[in-house]
Amino acid sequence: MEDKVVLSAAEAFADIPHGASVAIAGFGNSHRFPSTLLKASRDPGAKNLTVYCNGLGSQGTSTAQLLVENEQISTLVASLSSRPGPPTLAEEQILAGTLDFEVVPHWILVERMRAGGAGTRVAQGKDVRHFDGRTYILERGITTYFAILRGYRADRYGNVQFRGGSRNSKNSFAEAARTAIIEVKEILEVGQLRPEEIHLPEVIVTRVVKTTTAVNVSSLPQRSSRPAGSHQECNGKPPLSRAEISRRAAAILDTSSVINLGAGPPNQVVNYLDGRDVVFHSENGMLNCGGFVDIDRVDPDFHDAGGNSIDVLPGVSFFDSVASFEIARGKDLDAVALGAYQVGSNGDHQGRPGGAMDLAVGGKSVIVSTDHVDSKGRPKLVQECSYPIAAAECTTQVITDLALRRHNDQGRFTLEEIAAGFPVEENLKLTTVDINTTENTDVMQEA
C-alpha cells in the first residue's frame, strides 16, 4: 500500500490550481479547523476558489478566514457567513459584491456532500416533489477538487481517527472530494490504530501531514453573548435576566427526555437542571453531554454547537453530522430549545440557518427562549415573520424576559406566566400580537 504521509503542509498543497473547489471542515468559531493546511494554502496563491464549509470561523485566528483575508475566495457556500461580533472581511466582501455567497443550512450541506461522495445526481434546480403527503425539495449533490480536514491520529496508509465531538462533517467532506488532505496530531505506523478506532478509511484519504500549528485551547474565541445575569430594561424596570430565562426553560423539560439546546441563550439551560435525568444532544455530534466547564478543564474536542467547552457524562457517544441530523429529522428529540429573530403568531420560527431549521422540524416540541424585543426595540413575537422562516408552525412555547406563552390548538398563543412587575395588561400592551389570556396567570419567578 502507498505511504500517504507528506513532509510538509506546503508539499500537500503544492498542486492546488486557480478556480479549484475546496471543502474546509471545522466547527464554530475555531474548533478543529485544519490550521496548518490553511496557512500553507495561502502560499501557492490560488485565487477564485469556491469554498464549502459550515462557517469560516473567527477572524484573526487560523481558520478559513485566512483565505478571505488573502482574497482567495470568489464563491462561498456555507451555513453561516459570520457569527455574532464585529463585522468580518467576509461580510464586507459579500456586501461589496466581490464574494458570492450561497446559504445552505448545515444538514442540507452535509447531505449534499454525502450525495456527491456517493455519486448521486439529483435535481439540477430545486424542484419540488411530493411523497406520502409531504413536500420535499431536491438538491444537487456536491463534489469538490479538494477537502482539507483536521483529525486526531492517522497511520501511514491514511486511515484516520477523530476524537470526541470533532468528527462532525469531516467524513462527508472527504468523501465528496477528489483529493482529501488531512492534518493530524500524531502519525502512527500501520497496525497501531485498532480497526474500531478508524473513522475514515485510507481509500478516501489522499495525503496526510502532521499538524505544526499549536492551538492554545484556553485562548480559543468563545461565542460573544451578553452575561447570564444581564437584562434589558423595559418601561424603566428590570425584566428577567438571561439566567432566569434559562432557568425557567429548564423547568419545562421533562425528566428522561432527549433535548437539543441551540446556540446562544438556550445553551445556558444545561446549567439549571439540578441533576435531573435529561440527556442532551449537541448538533456537532454528541449525546449525553454535560454543563460548561472551567478554563482549566477545557478540551478542544468536547464542545457544544455554540462553541462552549462542556463536560461529558457516563454513557456519552460521539458521531458525525449525518447521524446527528438523522437523530433530529427522525423525531428522536423530545424537545429543542432555540433562540429566534422572530416567531410568527402561527408558530413559524425564524432564526439563524445553521442547523436550526432541521432541529426545529425534528423536535417533538420547540421551545424558543429569547428577549421580548430585539436590539432595536422591535417585538420578536410578530403576527407574521418578515424574514424567511426556518421552520413553519413548529413553535410550542416562547419564553422571554417578560412572559411565557404557549401555542394552543386554535393556532394562537396563550399568556400563561408573566415576569414579576409586569402585569397582564402591561404585557399585552408590549405585544403586537393578539394573545389569549387565562383566568389565573402565574409569575415566572415563582413557577
CATH value at residue 360: 3.40.1080.10
Number of separate domains in the chain: 2
pLDDT (mean) for 306-316: 86
Residue 59 lies in a domain: yes
Residue 257 lies in a domain: yes
Residue 234 lies in a domain: no
Give me the domain span that covers residue 408: 242-446
Nearest-angstrom CA–CA distance, 231 and 233: 6
pLDDT (mean) for 181-188: 96
Say if residue 276 is in the same domain as residue 145.
no
Say if residue 207 is in the same domain as residue 160.
yes
| Model pLDDT, residue 222 | 52
Which residues belong to the active site? 283
Say if residue 418 is in the same domain as residue 350.
yes
Say if residue 251 is in the same domain as residue 140.
no
Say if residue 339 is in the same domain as residue 425.
yes
Size of the chain, expressed as the number of residues it contains: 447
Say if residue 195 is in the same domain as residue 274.
no
pLDDT in tens, 264-277: 778 888 888 877 88
Say if residue 190 is in the same domain as residue 281.
no
DSSP 275-293: T--EEEEETTTEEEEEEE-
What pTM value is reported for the model?
0.82
Say if residue 281 is in the same domain as residue 372.
yes
pLDDT in tens, 27-62: 877 778 999 999 888 776 789 999 999 888 888 788
Residue 218 lies in a domain: no
**The domain boundary residue, chosen from 196, 212, 228:** 212
Say if residue 49 is in the same domain as residue 178.
yes
Say if residue 319 is in the same domain as residue 422.
yes
Q: Higher-confidence residue: 442 or 361?
A: 442
| Model pLDDT, residue 108 | 85
Residue 229 lies in a domain: no
Nearest to 257 by CA among 314, 336, 320: 336
Residue 14 lies in a domain: yes
Enter the C-alpha cell of residue 29. Answer: 468559531
| Model pLDDT, residue 72 | 94
| Mean of all residue pLDDT scores within the chain | 86
| Model pLDDT, residue 229 | 60
Nearest-angstrom CA–CA distance, 237 and 362: 37
Residue 1 lies in a domain: no
Residue 219 lies in a domain: no
Say if residue 173 is in the same domain as residue 254.
no
Note whether 18 and 45 are within 8 A (CB): no
- pLDDT band at 121; cut points 50, 70, 90: very low
Give the chain's end-to-end CA distance (angstroms, integer). Answer: 65
Asked if the model's pLDDT at residue 447 lies above 90, the reply is: no
- pLDDT band at 123; cut points 50, 70, 90: very low
Say if residue 129 is in the same domain as residue 263.
no
Nearest to 383 by CA among 427, 431, 441: 431
